[in-house]
């Protein structure tokens, strides 16, 4: 029997739409393009698909549309079982992770995962903040006045107090990710961002400014996952998902013992390193969940890519830049590639695929062995950490 802990799953085809304000397309249109694009690249006929899993965080909030699995299957010409998975910002990678269970148990052979979100139809900031705040504890956080940036602001202040992290170090995360996005034709933002612009932009929740967070975005990203023996006939050099760990911390910040670390991420990363018998030093590059700039700093520390408290300094010194020791968010990250919530985890995987397949153009990394993707739900209540290799 397959051992889901030790075995691996191949990722063959992948495709994503542009990210941004896709006014012309509804949630099913975007999904259709990504799904069928990925199937075409994989060389898989839609009749051969054993299941469709949709990662989506808030179509009920943003569009008043639930039952997405069925909607998207119907509108994409996929006539198989289809299910939507919700885990806030980690929806896409949570869906990917669930598929490994089906494939490793031998129950499924070819599965499509699509992450999708349509956010730009809400036209007031207060409505978007209300929708985003449903990823927190609705009664004991959001009803008391919490917003998603508000919660990350509390974490940023805790990190600043504990380690002396500065506003400039946090702002540098946004500057770096915009620099990376300039090399990514699919990115939502391709403008150069100056550190002064970040520091002088409108405050969302002190100390987080608007240029430190993500804009509302639409987009879909899809991957085709296969059992390794099945993948052989589609791709002679597939990329494999080697480990994926979903872990949790308390949903609400007030229940956590401290706010200057992402315990959920640390737990998932440690489980992965142990199972693979590698360490953080073996990771060649990572896509992390920079929903706000502080989130990237917290993530690279929790993943062990830098020491606790060193995330801000490492960013400032360029260690996480494209040419640095450990490139982080070569795609531009959530900040600049764009953050259609449910799509972003799958888009992280697509960046990892592009890097391994040599399709990353001007942002192509050399001599890579291990790629890591980390996504968060809410303010860190859910974490999915996934490891990829050739």
Partner 1 sequence: MIIMTRKLVAENWRLEKARYALVGNFCKKCLGYHFPKKQLCLRCKTSEHLEEYKFKHEGKLLEWTKIYDPAKGFDFAGPYYYCIVELEEGIKITTQLKYVTDEGRLKYGMKVKLVFRRLFSHGNEGLNTYGFKAVPVY
1, 3, 24, 126: which one contacts partner 1 (CB under 8 A)? 126
Q: Considering the rule CB under 8 A, would residue 125 count as an interface residue with partner 1?
A: yes
DSSP string, 365-386: -SS---EEEEEEETTTTEEEEE
> Minimal distance in Å, beta carbon 129 to partner 1?
4
Q: Considering the rule CB under 8 A, would residue 214 count as an interface residue with partner 1?
A: no
Residue with tokens 């998975």: 85
Q: Considering the rule CB under 8 A, would residue 204 count as an interface residue with partner 1?
A: yes
* Total of chain residues touching partner 1, rule CB under 8 A: 42
83, 120, 134, 364: which one contacts partner 1 (CB under 8 A)? 134
Q: Considering the rule CB under 8 A, would residue 200 count as an interface residue with partner 1?
A: no
Q: Considering the rule CB under 8 A, would residue 67 count as an interface residue with partner 1?
A: no
Looking at 56-64, 218-226, 279-287, 294-302, which segment touches partner 1 (CB under 8 A)? 56-64
- Which CB, 46 or 201, lies closer to partner 1? 201
- 268 contacts 253 by C-beta, under 8 angstroms: no
Q: Considering the rule CB under 8 A, would residue 202 count as an interface residue with partner 1?
A: yes
Taking residue 80's Cβ as centre, other Cβ atoms within 10 Å add up to: 16
- Please give the helix or strand (H or E) that residue 298 lies within, else none: helix 293-302
For 243, the token pair is 């480990």
Q: Considering the rule CB under 8 A, would residue 129 count as an interface residue with partner 1?
A: yes
Residue 274 has, within 13 A of its CA and on its CB side, a CA count of: 8
- Which CB, 5 or 203, lies closer to partner 1? 203
Partners of residue 389 on adjacent β-strands: 240
Q: Considering the rule CB under 8 A, would residue 1 count as an interface residue with partner 1?
A: no
Q: Considering the rule CB under 8 A, would residue 27 count as an interface residue with partner 1?
A: no
Give 120: exposed, middle or buried? Use CB within 10 Å, 0-12, 13-18, 19+: middle
Between CA 299 and CA 287 the distance in angstroms is 10
Q: Considering the rule CB under 8 A, would residue 144 count as an interface residue with partner 1?
A: yes
Q: Considering the rule CB under 8 A, would residue 56 count as an interface residue with partner 1?
A: no
- 384 contacts 97 by C-beta, under 8 angstroms: yes
Q: Considering the rule CB under 8 A, would residue 165 count as an interface residue with partner 1?
A: no
- 129 contacts 148 by C-beta, under 8 angstroms: yes
What angle is formed at CA 367 by the lines to CA 365 and CA 369, rounded to 5 degrees? 100
Q: Considering the rule CB under 8 A, would residue 259 count as an interface residue with partner 1?
A: yes
Q: Considering the rule CB under 8 A, would residue 124 count as an interface residue with partner 1?
A: yes
Q: Considering the rule CB under 8 A, would residue 147 count as an interface residue with partner 1?
A: yes
Partners of residue 239 on adjacent β-strands: 11
203, 232, 358, 359: which one contacts partner 1 (CB under 8 A)? 203
Between CA 136 and CA 147 the distance in angstroms is 8
Residue with tokens 């100056």: 194
Q: Considering the rule CB under 8 A, would residue 252 count as an interface residue with partner 1?
A: yes
Q: Considering the rule CB under 8 A, would residue 254 count as an interface residue with partner 1?
A: yes
- 191 contacts 336 by C-beta, under 8 angstroms: no
| Interface residues toward partner 1, by CB under 8 A | 61, 63-64, 124-127, 129-134, 138-147, 149-150, 153-154, 157-158, 161, 202-207, 210, 252-255, 259
């Amino acid at each position: 029997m397959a051992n889901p802990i030790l075995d691996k799953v191949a990722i063959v085809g992948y495709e994503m739409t542009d990210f941004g304000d896709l006014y012309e397309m509804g949630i099913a249109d975007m999904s259709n393009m990504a799904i069928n694009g990925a199937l075409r690249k994989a060389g898989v006929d839609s009749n051969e698909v054993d299941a469709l899993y949709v990662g989506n965080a808030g179509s009920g909030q943003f569009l008043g549309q639930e039952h997405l699995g069925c909607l998207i299957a119907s509108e994409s010409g996929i006539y198989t079982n289809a299910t939507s998975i919700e885990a806030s910002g980690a929806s896409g990678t949570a869906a990917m992770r669930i598929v490994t269970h089906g494939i490793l148990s031998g129950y499924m052979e070819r599965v499509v995962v699509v992450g999708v979100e349509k956010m730009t139809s809400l036209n007031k900031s207060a409505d978007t903040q209300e929708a985003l705040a449903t990823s927190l504890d609705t009664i004991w956080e959001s009803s008391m006045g919490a917003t998603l940036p508000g919660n990350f602001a509390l974490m940023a202040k805790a990190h600043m107090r504990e380690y002396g992290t500065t506003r400039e170090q946090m702002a540098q995360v946004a500057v770096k990710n915009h620099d990376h996005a300039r090399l990514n034709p699919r990115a939502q933002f391709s403008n150069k961002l100056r550190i002064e612009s970040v520091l002088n932009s409108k405050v969302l929740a002190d100390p987080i400014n608007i240029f430190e967070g993500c804009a509302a975005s639409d987009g879909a990203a899809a991957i085709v996952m296969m059992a390794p023996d099945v993948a052989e006939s589609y791709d002679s050099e597939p990329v494999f998902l080697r480990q994926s760990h979903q872990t949790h911390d308390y949903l609400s910040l007030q229940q956590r013992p401290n706010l200057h670390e992402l315990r959920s991420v640390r737990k998932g990363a440690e489980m992965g390193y142990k199972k693979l018998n590698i360490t953080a030093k073996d990771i060649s590059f990572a896509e992390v969940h920079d929903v706000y700039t502080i989130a990237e700093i917290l993530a690279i520390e929790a993943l062990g890519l830098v020491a606790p408290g060193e995330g801000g300094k490492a960013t400032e010194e360029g260690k996480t830049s494209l040419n640095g020791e450990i490139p982080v968010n070569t795609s531009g990250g959530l900040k600049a590639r764009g953050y259609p919530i449910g799509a972003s985890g799958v888009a992280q995987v697509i960046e990892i695929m592009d890097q391994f397949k040599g399709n990353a153009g001007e942002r192509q990394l050399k001599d890579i062995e291990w790629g890591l993707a980390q996504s968060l739900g809410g303010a860190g209540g859910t974490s999915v950490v996934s490891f990829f290799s050739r």
